[in-house]
Copies of this chain bind each other. A is one copy, B any other.
Amino acid sequence: MFTDKLIEKVIKCRNHMVVGLDPRLQYVPRHILDDVGGSQLPGMGADKAAEAFFRFNKEIIDNVYDIVPAVKPQIAFYEQYGTAGFECWLKTCKYAKSKGLLVIGDVKRSDIGSTAEAYSDFYLGNNEWSADTDCITLNPYLGTDALIPFVKNCGKNGKGIYVLVKTSNKSSADIQDLDSGGRKIYEHVAELVVKLGEDLIGKFGYSSIGAVVGATFRNDGQKLRELMKRVYFLVPGYGAQGGTAEDAAACFNKDGLGAVVNSSRGIIAAYMSDGYKDKYTGKEFGAAAREAALVARDDINNELEKAGKIAW
Considering only CB atoms, which chain B residue lies closest to A128 in the complex?
B45
Interface contact B83-A119, CB-CB below 8 Å = no
Interface contact B169-A131, CB-CB below 8 Å = no
Given the known interface contacts A46-B129, A121-B80, A175-B188, the answer about A142 and B164 at a Cβ–Cβ threshold of 8 Å is yes
The complex places the Cα of A174 from the Cα of B142 at a distance, in Å, of 8
Interface contact A169-B145, CB-CB below 8 Å = yes
The complex places the Cα of A72 from the Cα of B191 at a distance, in Å, of 34
Interface contact A87-B76, CB-CB below 8 Å = no
Question: Which of B116, B145, B175 meets A185, CB within 8 Å?
Answer: B175
Q: How many copies does the complex hold?
A: 2
Q: Mark A70-82, 1 if CB is under 8 A from B, else 0.
A: 0000101101111
Interface contact A87-B80, CB-CB below 8 Å = no
Binds B, one of A5-13, A60-68, A104-112: A104-112
Q: Enumerate chain B residues within 8 angstroms of A192, measured Cβ to Cβ.
A: 174
The complex places the Cα of A113 from the Cα of B45 at a distance, in Å, of 23
The complex places the Cα of A107 from the Cα of B140 at a distance, in Å, of 15
Say whether A40 faces chain B, with CB atoms less than 8 Å apart.
no
Interface contact B170-A131, CB-CB below 8 Å = no
Interface contact A145-B118, CB-CB below 8 Å = no
Could you write out 9 A-B pairs with CB less than 8 Å apart? A110-B110, A141-B141, A141-B176, A143-B172, A143-B176, A145-B171, A174-B188, A178-B180, A185-B185
* A interface residues with partner B (beta carbon < 8 Å): 22, 24, 45-46, 74, 76-77, 79-84, 86-87, 90, 108-116, 118-119, 121-122, 127-131, 139-146, 164, 167-176, 178-181, 185, 188-189, 192
The 10 closest A-B pairs by CB, nearest first: A143-B171, A143-B174, A46-B129, A145-B171, A80-B118, A80-B122, A178-B180, A141-B141, A112-B169, A76-B118
